[in-house]
A and B are shown apart, each in its own frame.
Chain A
C-alpha cells in the first residue's frame, strides 16, 4: 500500500505532524533566518563575471580627453540654470545642437495628489531636453540612453557638463552601431516618467505631456549620471528600481570590470568593499551592505532616475559620484573614460542583456547571490505556514473526543457556517480598501477641521484608519452567529494562513526583499495566534509585528545601517514622510507597495487579529 493510503502509516504521519508541529515550525524559522544571514558570508557567494559574449572583456581603448572642458560646460549650465530659475531650455538646445545632435524638447505637467514636503512641490511643470546622436552607418533600430538630472540648486551641474562633453566626443567617432540619446530631465523622476511614457506611447499614471518629436529606436540600455563635485573619490552604483526590480547583473559586472581596469574606487550602497571576509567585522560589513540592498529593494521605490526604465525591460543603472575625505581623487576625464568604455561595450551588444541574472542580491560589488541561493530562506518561512495549515486541517477533520455532556458535543460537531468565515474576510478587506482610498479623498475635510498641512493630513488619516481597524472587525461575528464556535476560528485561521502563504509567495517572487521582510514578521503571528493565548501579551506582540510597526523599525534600522542614526523624534518624522512618499510613489509612478500593504497584507493581518479576539 502507498504511504498515504495505508491507514496505519497515515495515522503515524499525522500524529508525527501534530506532535512535532510547533518544534518544526520553530526550527524552520531559525533555519530561514540563519540561511538569510549566511547569504552574506563570502564562501557562499559567487564572484561576478561577464556572461554576455558580445560584450567580452574590457578590451577597448578609452581616449576621452576633455574632462576640464566638460567641467567648464557644467559651470556654464549652472549659471544659466540660476538665471532661468529652472531648466535653461534654450541654452541646452543651442549647446546640444552645436555639438551635432538632433535636439528635441518635451513639456510635461502633473498635479500631485497632495504636496510633497520632501521635495517641496505640488503643481509640477517642466521640460525635458534630449539630443539624439544618430549612428553614422547603422539603421535607426536601437538606442542607448545617457541621462543626467537637472536638479535645483547646485546639484548635478557637473553631471550635465560631463554628459555634454561626452556628447561632443562621441559625435566624432564612427563606430556607433546604435543611436545614443543624451537626456537632461527636469524634476528627476517625474520628468523621467513623462519622457519614458512619451517614448513608449503609454500613459499609465495620468500625467500630461507633449508627444516626443524625435525617437531613436528601441532602447537597449540606459545609464543615469549623478555628479555634484569636480573631483570624486569613489563611484557608487545604484541598482534598485521601481517595485524592487533590478537590472541585469551584466550591467553591474560591466561597471565593476571597468572600475577595475581604470582604477577607480567603486562601491555599492555607498559601502566600500572589504577583503577580510573571515573576520567578524568583515562579515558584518557584508551583512550591512546586503541588508541595505534588501531594504531599498523592499521599499519598492526607484532609488535613482534609472529605476523607471526597468519596467520597459530596459537595463538601467545610476552612477553617483561621491566626494568623501580620501586622498586618492578621480577627475572628470577619468569618469568620462569609464563611461566611454562602458558605452563602447554596450555598443557591441547584438540583443538585449539577458544572459546574466535578473534576480540577485549583492553583499558587495564583486560578489552576488542568485535567486536559487536566496529563495530557500523564504521557502523555509513559507513552510511554517503550510505546516500550520496541515495541522489545522487535521484538527478539523478528526472528530473531537466524546465527553459526558452530549449537548456540548452536538454543538461542537456542527460545522461553522460560511457566513462566519466570510464576514471577517469581507470586513477586513473593506477596512483595507478604506485604508487605501480614505487618506487622499478626505484630506480636504481633514485640513478644514484640524490645523495640519495636507501631507500630514494624509499620513495621519492613514494611521488613524489603520488603528481604527484594530477595533472594528472583531466584534461583528458575535452579532452574527452568537458565541463563536470552536471550529469557526480554526476554519478562519486555515483560510487566513493559506491566504498569507499565497500572498507572501507571490510577493517574494516579484520582490524577494519585501516578501521576506513581511514573512519574517507575519509568519510567527500567523503560526501561533489562537484565541487561547494570553490576550494582552499577544495583542501587544501582534501590534509590534504588524506591517506598520515593521515599517517603523525598518526606518530606524535603515538609518543605522547607513551610519546616520536618528533620535526617536526624528525617526518618527522620517516614518511619516516615508508613508507619504509611499503613497506618492504609487500615485506618480505606479509603485505597488502601498496598495499591496493596504489592500492585501493589512486585511490578512486583521484576520489574525480577529482570531485573537474570537472569544
Chain B
C-alpha cells in the first residue's frame, strides 16, 4: 500500500516538475524579446578615393548575410559604384584585404539604394517608414515592434554630423529624432547603431529613445584611420575599425554565444589608434546578455514539442512603450553649453556711460540731431 503511494508521489512530482519546465519554456523562448532581424547598411561617400567606405559597408553586409539575415531584410545603400569604376584594375570586385584575399562584392550583392539615391532624405524616410506608396518592398524597412535592427553608417564625418555625398549632412540631432520617431511608431524592439567615421562618438551623443545601443570608431576630436593601402589598386581598402570588426565577425557563427561585451572590445586603441566608444545607458537589458547574433544574425529558435502549453499567466514585463523611460530627463541630460554673455544690466550701464561721455564732450545741443 505504502509502496504504491510512494511510487505515485514520485511519479506526481516528476510529472509536475516536467510539466513545470515546459511551463517556463515560453519565458526562455521570448527572453530576448525579438522575432525578426533587419539591417540598414549605409555608405555615404562617393569618388574613387573613398573606396574604403564601400568596402566597409560591403564587409558588414557580407557578415550579416552569412549569419542569416536575408536580402529581403537588408537595406543596403551605397553612394558610389566602386566595382565598376573605370579606375578599378580588377573590375567587378571590391576587396577588403590586400593581395586580393577577400572579395566582398561577389555575385549576390543586392544594392537597394545606389548612387545619387543615397541622400539624407531617403535615409530618414527609410528609417521612419514615410516612403511614397510606389516604393518597392526591397527599399523599405518593414520592421515591427519585435524587430531588432542593426544600423551601420560609414563615410566622412565630423563633430555632430555625417557627410552624405559631398553635398549634404545629417546631424546627430536629426538622427536622434528619427530614432525617437521609430520608437513612437513601434518600429523596433532593440536597435544597434554602429558608425565608423571621424569623430563618430558625436553622432550618438544626442540619442534619447529607449533600447538603443551605439558603437563608434572614434571619440570627438579623433580621426578614424584607414587600415591598409593596396598598391595594385592604388587606394586604401578598409578603415581600421571595420577591418577588426570584420575579423571579429568572421569568428561568429549562427549558434555563437558571444555577447555585446566582446563587441565593445573590438579594436582597442593599440590597433585602431583612435579610441572606439560605446553607449549603453539607453539599453534596458544588460549588454552582457545581448548576443551578437541578436543583431547581426537572424537566429530563429525552433523547439518541437508535442505538448500543448497553457499560456495562462501573462508575461511579467509589460511593455508600455511611451512611459518606459523618463524621456524628459534624458533629453535634458547634458547641460547645454551656453556661451557666456555679460549680464544685461551691465550692457545697459555701459551704453548709458558711452552716451553720457559723448554728450558731455560734444555738448547737449547735439541731442536734437539724434532724436
Contacts and interface: CB of A to CB of B under 8 A. Distances in A.
A176 interface: yes
Contact of A175 (B47, B49, B84, B86): B86
Given A54-B49, A135-B86, A348-B48, A59 B235 contact: yes
Interface stretch (B172-180, B198-206, B226-234, B243-251): B226-234
Interface string B2-23: 0000000000000000000000
Contact of B86 (A54, A56, A176, A344): A176
A173 B88 CA distance: 10
Contact of A138 (B49, B86, B89, B236): B86
Summarize B's interface: helix, strand, loop or mixed. Answer: loop
Contact of A53 (B49, B84, B85, B88): B49
A419 interface: no
A53 B231 CA distance: 17
A410 interface: no
A497 interface: no
Given A53-B49, A54-B49, A56-B49, A348 B87 contact: yes
A61 B87 contact: no
A101 to B, nearest CB: 18
Nearest to B232: A61
Interface residues of B, number: 16
Contact of A177 (B87, B235, B236): B87
A174 B235 CA distance: 16
B88 A175 contact: yes
A234 interface: no
Contacts of A53: 49
Contact of B234 (A135, A136, A348, A350): A348
Given A54-B49, A350-B47, A60 B86 contact: no
A147 interface: no
Interface size classification for chain A: 10 to 19
Interface in B208-235: 229, 231-232, 234-235
Interface string B70-102: 000000000000001111110100000000000
Contacts of B232: 61
Contact of B49 (A60, A177, A348): A348
Nearest to A344: B234
A137 interface: yes
Given A54-B47, A176-B86, A137 B91 contact: yes
A138 B49 CA distance: 17
Interface in B28-66: 47-49
B231 A137 contact: no
A59 B231 contact: yes
Contacts of A61: 231-232, 234
A347 interface: yes
Summarize A's interface: helix, strand, loop or mixed. Answer: loop
B83 to A, nearest CB: 12
A3 B171 CA distance: 50
Contacts of A60: 231, 234
A347 B87 contact: yes
Nearest to B236: A59
Taking each of A53, A173, A174, which has the highest tally of chain B beta carbons within 10 Å of its own beta carbon?
A174
Taking each of B88, B89, B229, B234, which has the highest tally of chain A beta carbons within 10 Å of its own beta carbon?
B234
Interface in B92-117: none
Contacts of A176: 86-87
Contacts of A135: 86
Contacts of B85: 177
Nearest to A54: B49
Contacts of A173: 89
Nearest to A178: B86
A233 to B, nearest CB: 27
A176 B236 CA distance: 18
Contacts of A175: 86-89, 234
A174 B49 contact: no
A347 B48 CA distance: 11
Contacts of B91: 137, 174
Contacts of B48: 54, 348, 350
B136 to A, nearest CB: 29
A59 B229 contact: yes
A392 B88 CA distance: 68
B89 A174 contact: yes
A201 B234 CA distance: 36
Nearest to B47: A350
B2 to A, nearest CB: 89
B317 to A, nearest CB: 52
B138 to A, nearest CB: 27
Contacts of B231: 59-61
A119 to B, nearest CB: 41
A177 B234 CA distance: 14
A175 B229 CA distance: 17
A177 B89 contact: no
Nearest to B84: A137
Contacts of B234: 59-61, 175, 344, 348
Nearest to A345: B234
Contacts of A138: 86
Contacts of B89: 173-175
A137 B85 CA distance: 9
A30 to B, nearest CB: 44
Interface in A134-160: 135-138
Nearest to B91: A174
Taking each of A54, A61, A135, which has the highest tally of chain B beta carbons within 10 Å of its own beta carbon?
A61
A337 to B, nearest CB: 12
Contacts of A56: 49, 235
Nearest to A59: B229
Taking each of B47, B88, B89, B91, which has the highest tally of chain A beta carbons within 10 Å of its own beta carbon?
B89
B228 to A, nearest CB: 10
Contacts of B229: 59
Contacts of B87: 175-177, 347-348
Nearest to A139: B86
A56 B84 CA distance: 21
Nearest to A57: B229
Contacts of A54: 47-49
A136 B87 CA distance: 10
B142 to A, nearest CB: 37
A134 B229 CA distance: 28
Interface string A500-536: 0000000000000000000000000000000000000
B235 A137 contact: no
Interface in A182-225: none
Given A59-B231, A60-B234, A137 B86 contact: yes
A60 B236 CA distance: 11
Nearest to B48: A348
Taking each of B48, B235, B236, which has the highest tally of chain A beta carbons within 10 Å of its own beta carbon?
B48
A177 B48 CA distance: 11
B47 to A, nearest CB: 6
Interface string A41-79: 000000000000110100111000000000000000000
A174 B229 CA distance: 20
Contacts of B49: 53-54, 56, 348
B52 to A, nearest CB: 12
Contacts of A350: 47-48
A136 B91 CA distance: 11
B81 to A, nearest CB: 12
Contacts of A136: 86
27 contacts: A54-B47, A54-B49, A56-B235, A59-B229, A59-B231, A59-B234, A59-B235, A59-B236, A60-B234, A61-B231, A61-B232, A61-B234, A136-B86, A137-B84, A137-B86, A173-B89, A174-B89, A175-B88, A175-B89, A175-B234, A176-B86, A176-B87, A177-B85, A348-B48, A348-B49, A348-B87, A350-B48
Given A60-B234, A137-B91, A344-B234, 13 more contacts: A54-B49, A56-B49, A56-B235, A59-B235, A61-B231, A137-B84, A138-B86, A174-B89, A175-B89, A177-B87, A348-B48, A348-B87, A350-B47
Closest 4 CB pairs between A and B? A61-B231, A177-B86, A138-B86, A175-B89
